Amino acid sequence: MAPSHNRPPPADPADRRKVTTKSLLRMKERGEPISALTAYDHTMGALLDRAGVDVILVGDSVAMVVQGRETTVTVTLDQMLYHASLVSAGVERALVVGDLPFMSYQVNADEALRNAGRMVKESGVEAVKLEGGGASICETVRRIVEVGIPVMGHLGLTPQSIHKFGTYQVRATSAEEAEQVKKDARALQDAGAFAIVLEKIPANLAREISAALKIPAIGIGAGPGCDGQILVSHDMLGLYTRFHPRFVRRYAQLGEEMLGAFRRYVGDVKTRSFPTQEESY
Ligand code: KIV
């Protein structure tokens, strides 16, 4: 990251040049922070794109914030393909990344390759994301990258492993786990990943990893020292309010806004003040 006195000006929203894995690398090199958010449908994808968001992730968080599930582990590949195809159809500039859901890439590299291929071919996303950084995951990343599909890694709190962790608390607070995350980040870079999400790890560790890597590290709950930031759109819009971790800055209270609008509508229908003559044919 560039020191604060030497920061580049904010990205120009009128710059509609396509974001690619290469342009993300150049953004890191010149110290321009990368903005990323999640989307699950055409309308949201198109709005994020108009706003100048650099990376749009069709996250498996769809399971929680759209499908109402307790965790991300239940979402299927077919459901991810559906949401990813809606988003990519609405986006022109941002790089669109599709999450590979739990058990679509862990069995073996052949199956992972087939499923990554389906994600790109059937939904139109430009890259895939998968969680973890052990030897077999890195081999899988290598195979997927080899055929020409860019891969984003994801370390730290990896929600697909929630049943192993047992909690969504901050990860890598022990020296041993911090060392492992650093090692996994380097291994993912060596395997050909174009970027890595660092979720809910101490800010100092995330800063150190970001500085050590050539590829961008995009943080969520990982402090300001990362090369970019990502949030779940439904969290930052105040649409999903079941949890409010401290790293979620609420930019709107859309849940409350929508509730108010729905209540006003119900009231208007009940009192026959909707529709009026002007709203009729
Ligand atoms: O699924 C998702 O939304 C994610 C982000 C939290 C990075 O993986």
d(CA 281, CA 269): 18
Q: What is the pLDDT of residues 50-80, one digit of tens each?
A: 999 999 999 999 999 999 999 999 999 999 9
DSSP letter at 4? G
Rounded CA gap, 262 and 268, in Å? 10
pLDDT value of position 2: 41
**What pLDDT, on the 0 to 100 scale, is given for residue 8?**
53
Please tell me the distance between residue 222's alpha carbon and the centre of ligand 1 in angstroms: 13
The model's pTM is 0.95
pLDDT of residue 267: 98
Residue 223 pLDDT exceeds 60: yes
Q: Ligand 1: which residue has its CA nearest to atom 1?
A: 59
- How far is ligand 1, taken at its centre, from the CA of residue 204, in Å? 21
> In which band, very low, low, confident or very high, does the pLDDT at 12 lie, cut at 50, 70 and 90?
low
pLDDT tens column, 240-249 = 999 899 999 9
Residues 6 or more apart in contact with residue 23 via CB below 8 angstroms: 17
Q: What pLDDT score does 16 carry? A: 83
| pLDDT exceeds cutoff 80 at 6 | no
Query: For residue 157, which amino acid is it?
Result: L
* pLDDT above 60 for 204: yes
- Asked whether the CA dihedral 50, 55, 60, 64 is positive or negative, the reply is negative
Contact 94, 56 (CB under 8 A): yes
Whether residue 101 has a cis bond before it, omega within 30° of 0: no
Over residues 149-163, mean pLDDT: 97
Q: Read off the tokens for 224.
A: 């300001």
pLDDT level of residue 5 (50, 70, 90 thresholds): very low
Backbone angles phi, psi at 172, to 5 degrees: 60, 40
Consecutive H or E run containing 205: helix 203-212
Point out which residues pair with 195 in neighbouring strands: 152
List every span in the chain annotated with CATH 3.20.20.60: 21-250
CB-defined site of ligand 1, < 6 Å = 38, 57, 59-61, 99, 154, 197, 220, 230, 232
Integer CA distances (angstroms), 236 to 66, 97, 112, 240, in order: 14, 19, 31, 8
The residue contributing the CA closest to ligand 1 atom 3 is 59
Atom of ligand 1 nearest to the CA of 38: 3
The residue nearest atom 8 of ligand 1, judged by CA position, is 59
Q: Is-contact 21 194, C-beta < 8 A?
A: yes
Beta-bridge partner residues of 58: 98
Q: Which of the pair, 230 or 2, is modelled with greater confidence?
A: 230
CATH class of 21-250: alpha beta
Q: How far is the CA of 90 from the centre of ligand 1 (A)?
A: 20
Q: Whose CA is nearest to atom 4 of ligand 1?
A: 59
| pLDDT band at residue 4 using 50, 70 and 90 as cut-offs | very low
| Active site (catalytic) residues | 199
Q: Output the CA–CA distances (angstroms, integers) from residue 256 to 68, 71, 238, 248, 250, in the order listed.
A: 18, 24, 8, 17, 12
Q: In ligand 1, which atom is closest to the CA atom of 218?
A: 7
Structure token digits, residue 31: 């110290």
